[in-house]
Each structure stands twice: as C-alpha cells, then as structure tokens.
C-alpha cells in the first residue's frame, strides 16, 4: 500500500496537534487532540483558541521573539508537555502550531520519580556534608558564656572574620584559643576552604620547616618521591593555624616572616618560590613581647603577627560563666557516658568560684568529669569535687610540663595569695598591698607579671 501521500494519516499520528492563525483562531485540529481536550473537531474551526482551550498560551507565540517553546499544561488533573512552533511565511508570523510531546501521565510520573530518586540521593549527600561540617569543626556557637569578657571576645572574633589580616590569639592554657581560631575561620569567607593546623611545639627544626613549607623531590635523604606539599600550600585559599607560635625556632622565623609579608614560600630544596594565599592565625601561650625582650623571638615577626591581637580571658576573670560551662559539660558527658546527672548543688558553684583556675576551661571540664565519675547518683555535690585535697595536692604531671617547675609553683602560690587577699579586700589595692607588706607599685608589678587582671 502506498501511503506516501496520506498526509492525514501522518497528522493523526501526532498527539494533540492544533494550529492557529495570526488572529488566534483555530484553523486546524486533529482527531486525537479533539478527543483529548473533549471538544468537537468540526465546531472549533474559526473559534478563538482561548475559548476552545482556555489554559492555552499559544497567543504569546504570535508576538514572541521565540520560534519554539516548550510548555507544561496542568489541566483536569492531567499533565502534558507540548511544543509550540511559530509558523512564518515571507518573514511574517502567520500562525502557531502546537503538539504534545507527553500526554501520558504515567510517562511523566516515571520521569518525575527518576528525578525524585536523584534528588533524594543528592539531599542525603548534602545532609551528610553538613553534618560533617558541623561535627568536625567548632563554630562561634561552641563558645559558651555570657559574661562581658566573652561578649567582647565574640565581637572580636566576628570582626576578625571580616578581614584577611593575620590574627594573634593570646591566652593561658585551656582558655579556648583553638576554639577561637576555628570560629574565625568558620565565620570568614574562607569557611568552605581548608582549615589547616600546625603545631610548632616539640618538633625538630628541620621537620617544622618541611611541615610548613613542604619540600621538593630529592630535597634530602628519606624525602618522599615527588616531594610533599607544606601546610602553607594545603591552606591555600583557606586558613593556616599555627599553634604555639612561641615555640617557632629562631632560625625559621625569617622564613615565616617572608611568607606573611610577600605571600611567597620556598619549599625545602626548591629554587623557585611558590605563591600562597593563606590567611594566617597564630596562637601563643607565652608573652611574645617578653620573648622579644629576651631575644628568643624576632621583633619584626612579632610586629607582623601582632596586626590583630585577640586576648582570650582566663576563666578566673569570668567566673560568672562557670554554671553554664559546667552544665554544658554535664550534658555532653551524660550522652557520652550514658548518665543522667540533672542537678548540681548550689554550694558547688560557690566553691568553684573560689578557685583561680590556672588550667582554665580545660581544667574545669576535667574536674566535672572526675566528679561525675565519682558521683553515683544524678546530683553532683560538694564532696564529689574533692575541693580540699586540691589545695594541698600538687599535680606533678602538670608541673612537669614547665621548663622551671620550682619557679612555676612559686608563681602559682604568689598568684593564689594575691588573688585571695584582693578578694578579701574587695579589690582595694592599697589595702591589699598594706596587708601583704609591699608597696602599691610592687603589687601592680606583680599582678601584671602573674597575668592577674587589674
């Protein structure tokens, strides 16, 4: 059978076929279309397309710039997807032809459910990412406390996050310097880039150098083949946190200074410099100015680091934050240890406020953990904290970390005495100095040296 001229056969095979003229009147509609939209094929010819099929937007095509358009109809609970084509003759728009690509709801369902599956996978992936992001990184919300000192600290963190300057975080051990470094990074525009940490303490000089700046192939015996990237490069576009920068060997300090000043580093054994864009945050748990005076820290590096200093206050200067910290630690430990401690007796807090916390938050957290292990029930009482023993007992492990343990324990005793006397005299320096049998200026000098707040 020859069907080559049987155009109506072809036209009937196209789903939802309809044509309008330049006036928007229907000039052609096939059987299939009339059935689908439930109209009489004969009666619609010459009618306004809007009257025949109200949801249509074919008229837009008459003025539109686009020659083709894909269109979604939601009608009678059915969905269809159509293609519209401008009909042109001698460069003039003379009509629009439309037909359906998808009329069959189940085909669309298949398509949608395929996307739904993909979307579900993607959502699961992103949820996982967000979870990792939250659990592995500290943020400013992990900094607890509502004291003036903490509010000021948070303000400084937010300010530091808006800039690219080098930040120097100073503070005693256990005050939260690392927490502050993380918070700055996570609030900054670099939050989605790497946060790389390096600790200058207790490492051989040559090791610190290759850790920080990397090395090239064959730089030294035992070097990894192909070389190794340094932390500076790993932190490119992100943040490099150099902890205990006071331990940075003098010989490496010029190299660090150059990296900060020029944004260029030289990997060990390399002839060529590498450009890096890492935001640097350092932490120091020793007075760097003092070290500069002693000649164990370079003055030029000190000034380069001291662009944006942040001083994290010791716990003894914000004792009012203790209950919040203790409660947060208890909650965390309840989860971790499967406990249900719900209450702390008020006289515990009174006792905790009397102590001067040389180990700061870390020490407080350790004390709470010890007390929870000691307490059997759900209430923490004074006796669980072992208060009295602490004043006489010396923690040898802790003391051994200092270069000069005897000096340190003298300092500690001095600090305790001065603190206690000041407390008894309501912070009145004249009375305290008289009681201690020293001059007022000497008291000030001692307080400054011992890091006591004025």
Ligand X SMILES: Nc1ncnc2c1ncn2[C@@H]1O[C@H](COP(=O)(O)OP(=O)(O)OP(=O)(O)O)[C@@H](O)[C@H]1O
Q: Which residues bind ligand X (CB under 6 A)?
A: 142-145, 171, 173-179, 285, 325, 361-362, 365
- Give the nearer residue to ligand X in terms of CB position, either 325 or 368: 325
CB of 174 to Mg ion, least distance (A): 8
- Give the nearer residue to ligand X in terms of CB position, either 138 or 213: 138
**Could you give the string, one character per residue 79-118, with x where binding to Mg ion holds by CB under 5 A and - elsewhere?**
----------------------------------------
CB of 292 to ligand X, least distance (A): 20
Task: Report if residue 408 touches Mg ion, rule: CB under 5 A.
Answer: no
Contact between 299 and 292 (Cβ < 8 Å): yes
Tokens of 75: 């009608």
CB of 171 to ligand X, least distance (A): 6
Tokens of 226: 């192909």
Which of Mg ion, ligand X, none is residue 362 near (CB under 5 to 8 Å by kind)?
A: ligand X
Contact between 67 and 60 (Cβ < 8 Å): no
Which of Mg ion, ligand X, none is residue 227 near (CB under 5 to 8 Å by kind)?
A: none
- Give the nearer residue to ligand X in terms of CB position, either 115 or 349: 349
* Alpha-carbon Rg for the chain in angstroms: 37
Which of ligand X, Mg ion, none is residue 285 near (CB under 5 to 8 Å by kind)?
A: ligand X
Tokens of 287: 């007075």
SS3 280: strand
**Residue number closest to ligand X, CB atom:** 176
| Euclidean distance between CA atoms 241 and 281, whole angstroms | 5
Which of ligand X, Mg ion, none is residue 176 near (CB under 5 to 8 Å by kind)?
A: ligand X
Instruction: Give the pairing of strands 239-243 and 279-284.
Output: parallel
CB of 339 to Mg ion, least distance (A): 28
Tell me the site size for Mg ion, rule CB under 5 A. 1
Contact between 325 and 150 (Cβ < 8 Å): no
DSSP 315: G
CB of 315 to ligand X, least distance (A): 8
| Residue 204 region by backbone torsions, left for phi larger than 0, else alpha for psi between -120 and 50, else beta | beta
| Euclidean distance between CA atoms 97 and 85, whole angstroms | 5
Touching Mg ion, residues 158-187 (CB under 5 A):
178
Contact between 195 and 239 (Cβ < 8 Å): yes
SS3 284: strand
- Give the nearer residue to ligand X in terms of CB position, either 280 or 325: 325
Which of ligand X, Mg ion, none is residue 326 near (CB under 5 to 8 Å by kind)?
A: none
Residue tagged 């008020």 (tokens): 346
CB of 332 to ligand X, least distance (A): 10
CB of 159 to ligand X, least distance (A): 17
Strand partners, 170: 284, 311
Which of ligand X, Mg ion, none is residue 16 near (CB under 5 to 8 Å by kind)?
A: none
CB of 245 to ligand X, least distance (A): 11
**Residue number closest to Mg ion, CB atom:** 178
What per-residue string of b and e applies to 8-27 under the rule 16 or more CB within 10 Å gives b?
eeeeeeebbbbbbbeebbbb
Phi, psi of 145 (to 5 degrees): 120, 150
- Give the nearer residue to ligand X in terms of CB position, either 100 or 172: 172
Which residues form the interface with Mg ion (CB under 5 A)?
Answer: 178
């Amino acid at each position: 059978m020859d069907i080559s001229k049987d155009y109506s056969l072809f036209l009937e095979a196209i789903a939802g076929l309809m044509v309008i003229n330049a006036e928007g009147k229907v000039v052609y509609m096939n059987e299939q279309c009339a059935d689908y939209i439930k109209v009489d094929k004969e009666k619609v010819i010459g009618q306004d397309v809007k009257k025949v099929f109200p949801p249509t937007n074919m008229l837009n095509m008459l003025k539109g710039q686009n020659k083709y358009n894909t269109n979604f109809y939601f009608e009678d609970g059915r969905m269809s997807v159509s293609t519209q084509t401008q009909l042109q003759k001698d460069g003039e728009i003379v009509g629009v032809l439309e037909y359906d690509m998808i009329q069959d709801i189940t085909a669309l369902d298949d398509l949608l459910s395929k996307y739904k599956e993909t979307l579900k996978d993607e959502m699961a992936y992103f949820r996982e990412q967000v979870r990792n992001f939250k659990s592995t990184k500290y943020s400013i919300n992990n900094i607890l406390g509502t004291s003036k000192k903490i509010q000021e600290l948070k303000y400084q963190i937010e300010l530091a996050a808006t800039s690219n300057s080098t930040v120097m975080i100073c503070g005693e051990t256990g005050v939260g310097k690392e927490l502050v470094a993380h918070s700055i990074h996570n609030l900054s525009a670099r939050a989605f880039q790497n946060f790389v940490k390096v600790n200058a303490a207790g490492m051989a000089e040559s090791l610190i150098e290759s850790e920080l700046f990397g090395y090239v192939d064959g730089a030294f015996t035992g070097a990894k083949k192909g070389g190794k990237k340094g932390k500076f490069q790993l932190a490119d576009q992100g943040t490099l946190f150099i902890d205990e920068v006071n331990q940075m060997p003098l010989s490496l300090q010029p190299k660090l200074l150059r990296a900060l000043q020029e944004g260029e580093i030289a990997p060990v054994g390399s002839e060529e410099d590498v450009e890096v864009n890492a935001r640097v945050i350092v932490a120091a748990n020793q007075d760097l100015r003092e070290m500069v005076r002693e000649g164990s820290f370079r003055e030029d590096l000190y000034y380069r680091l001291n662009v944006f200093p942040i001083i994290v206050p010791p716990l003894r200067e914000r004792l009012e934050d203790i209950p919040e910290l203790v409660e947060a630690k208890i909650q965390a430990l309840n989860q971790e240890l499967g406990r249900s401690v719900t209450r702390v007796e008020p006289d515990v807090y009174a006792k905790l406020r009397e102590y001067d916390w040389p180990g700061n938050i870390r020490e407080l957290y350790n004390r709470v953990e010890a007390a929870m292990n000691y307490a059997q029930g759900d209430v923490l009482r004074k006796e669980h904290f072992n208060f009295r023993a602490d004043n006489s007992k010396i923690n040898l492990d802790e003391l051994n970390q200092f270069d000069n343990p005897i000096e340190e324990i003298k300092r500690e005793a001095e600090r305790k005495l001065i603190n206690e006397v000041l407390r008894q005299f309501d912070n009145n320096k004249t009375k305290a100095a008289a009681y201690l049998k020293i001059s007022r200026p000497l008291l000030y000098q001692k307080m400054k040296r011992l890091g006591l707040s004025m």
